[in-house]
């Protein structure tokens, strides 16, 4: 992409929502063609490092639990949860990604309810779920992630768990390059300006938000959560795959993913 079409700038909430819905609708086929095999049809992969919920068990017990997968994409994780005996609902803003979720459900025979909605206005009652989770969904893309945390807290029952993975905040210091060019710090960690791709008229077509580790913790605490763990998956030996800016070269030197594990305090 031409340099003039990539920038770091402030973007209004409406433009963010329009850009990212349009991007994922348009890119859904290419994304699944490139990453679908790695993610699987019925599997829960937290990150490009390949950490699986089957091994990590960050959600705790899932059988019988009401679970919301936020920003589900093709909903492979929700189908995996259903196969483990959970009662999942898969939600995404993008109709294009939900089309792939429906196709995978038909292909595998594992069906979960699919909901098209905005993470900032979840169409569920208070305390509707035992667990909420997302692997790189919604949180990096909404303009007000603190408000999204409050929405998660609202639909989560007391004592419930909220687990989400995002690009590790320190990665924003570097260029989006899986090679040698991605080893030199060029941006300020403290610059929260979003990464924006835009068309020839300067209209955003893709927007991703940066928050520091401290920002994320403050968002969680501000929404009433207790941080249980912060997982930084290490690059596994023998994993030679490249996913965007994730690569063995960078992965062996510094983390690419942060997974926040939080709980909503029990009532009383």
* pLDDT tens-place string over residues 118-161: 999 999 999 999 999 999 999 999 999 999 999 999 999 999 99
Q: Would the pLDDT of 89 be above 50?
A: yes
Give the mean pLDDT of the chain.
96
Q: Would the pLDDT of 3 be above 70?
A: no
pLDDT of residue 226: 98
Contact indicator for 87, 67 with CB cutoff of 8 Å? yes
| Percentage of the chain modeled with pLDDT above 70 | 98
């Amino acid at each position: 992409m031409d340099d003039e079409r990539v920038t770091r700038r402030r973007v209004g909430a409406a433009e963010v929502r329009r850009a990212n819905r349009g991007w994922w609708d348009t890119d859904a086929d290419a994304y699944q063609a490139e990453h679908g095999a790695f993610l699987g049809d019925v599997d829960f992969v937290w990150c490009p490092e390949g950490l699986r919920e089957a091994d990590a068990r960050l959600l705790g017990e899932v059988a019988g639990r009401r679970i919301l997968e936020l920003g589900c994409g093709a909903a492979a994780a929700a189908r995996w949860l259903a196969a483990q005996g959970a009662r999942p609902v898969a939600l995404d803003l993008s109709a294009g990604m939900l089309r792939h979720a429906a196709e995978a459900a038909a292909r595998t025979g594992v069906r979960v309810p699919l909901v098209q909605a905005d993470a900032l206005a979840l169409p569920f009652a208070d305390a509707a779920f035992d667990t909420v989770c997302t692997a790189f969904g919604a949180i990096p893309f909404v303009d007000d992630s603190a408000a999204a945390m409050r929405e998660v807290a609202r639909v989560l029952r007391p004592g419930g768990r909220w687990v989400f993975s995002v690009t590790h905040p320190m990665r924003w210091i570097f260029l989006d390059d899986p090679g040698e060019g991605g080893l030199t710090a060029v941006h300020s960690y403290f610059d929260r300006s979003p990464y924006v791709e835009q068309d020839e008229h300067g209209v955003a077509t893709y927007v991703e938000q940066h928050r520091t580790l401290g920002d994320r913790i403050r968002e969680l605490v501000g929404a009433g959560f207790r941080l249980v763990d912060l997982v930084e998956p290490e690059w596994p030996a023998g994993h030679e795959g490249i996913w965007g800016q994730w690569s063995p070269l960078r992965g062996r030197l510094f983390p690419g993913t942060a997974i926040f594990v939080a709980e909503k305090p029990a009532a009383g």
